[in-house]
Amino acid sequence: MADDDDVLQAGPALGKRAARGAIVTVGSQVVRMAVQVGGVVVLAHLLTPHDYGLVAMALAVVGIGDLFRDFGLSSAAIQAQRLTRQQRDNLFWLNTGIGALLGVLAFACAPLVAALYDEPDLVPITRGLALTFLLNGMATQYRAHLTRHMRFAQLAAVDVASPLLGLVAGIVLAVSGAGWWALVGQQVMTAATLAAGGVIAARWLPRRPRRGEPMAGLLRFGWNLLGTQLVGYASNNVDSLTIGLRFGAQPLGVYNRAFTLLMQPLTQLRAPSTTVALPVLSRLRDQPERFGEFVRRGQLALAYTLVAGLAFVIAATGPLTSILLGPQWLDAEPVLRFLAAAGVFQTLAYVGYWVYLATGLTNVLLRYTLVSASIRITCVLVGSIWGVVGVAAGYAVAPMLAWPLSLWWVARHTPVPLRALLSGGTRAVVMFGSCALAGWAASTLVTGAWAQLALALVGVGAAFALWYLTVPRVRKDLSEVASVVHTARGTRSAAPAPAA
H helix or E strand, kind and range, residue 79: helix 73-79
**Bridge-partner residues for 82, per DSSP?**
7
Cα-Cα-Cα-Cα dihedral sign, residues 21, 202, 228, 166: positive
Cα–Cα nearest to 59, from 265, 247, 262, 264: 264
Q: CB neighbours (10 Å) of residue 225?
A: 26
Helix axis angle for 418-443 and 472-488, nearest 10°, is 100
DSSP secondary structure letters along 199-225: HHHH---PPPP-SSS--HHHHHHHHHH
Q: Residue 45 pLDDT more than 70? A: yes
| Cα 483–chain centre separation | 25
In 3-state terms, what secondary structure has residue 83?
strand
pTM strictly above 0.75: no
What confidence tier does 225 reach under pLDDT thresholds 50, 70, 90? low
Cα–Cα nearest to 206, from 66, 96, 103, 83: 96
pLDDT for the residue numbered 468: 94
Q: Provide the residue count of the chain.
A: 500
- Which is more confident, 210 or 121? 121
pLDDT for the residue numbered 490: 42
What confidence tier does 343 reach under pLDDT thresholds 50, 70, 90? very high
pLDDT for the residue numbered 220: 73
Query: Percent of the chain at pLDDT above 90?
Result: 30
In 3-state terms, what secondary structure has residue 7?
strand
Instruction: Tell me how many degrees the CA angle 205-208-210 measures, rounded to the nearest 5.
Output: 130
d(CA 447, CA 456) in angstroms, rounded, equals: 12
Of 66-75, 200-209, 477-486, give the lowest mean pLDDT range.
66-75
The per-residue pLDDT for range 227-273, each reduced to its tens digit, is: 666 676 777 778 888 888 888 888 888 888 888 888 877 887 787 67
Give the HSE-up count for residue 489: Cα atoms under 13 Å, Cβ half-sphere: 5
d(CA 28, CA 22) in angstroms, rounded, equals: 10
148 Cβ partners below 8 Å, 6+ apart? 6, 8, 77, 78, 83, 279
Q: CB neighbours (10 Å) of residue 62?
A: 25
- Which is more confident, 102 or 339? 339
